[in-house]
Amino acid sequence: MSVKWEDRGGVITDFTNDTAIKTNSQWARYCYDVAHQEYGAAPTAYVSVRWTFAKSGQPIRLVGGLFK
Tens of pLDDT, residue by residue, the chain (68 residues): 888 877 778 888 888 888 888 888 888 888 878 888 888 777 788 888 887 777 666 666 666 665 54
Quote the pLDDT of residue 68: 47
Judge if pTM exceeds 0.95. no
* Phi, psi for residue 43 in degrees, rounded to 5: -75, 75
* Four-residue CA torsion sign, 19, 25, 23, 15: negative
Q: CA-based angle 63:67:68, to the nearest 5?
A: 110
Spell 15-49 as b/e; 16+ CB within 10 A means b: eeeeeebeeeeebeebbeebeeeeeeeeeeeeeee
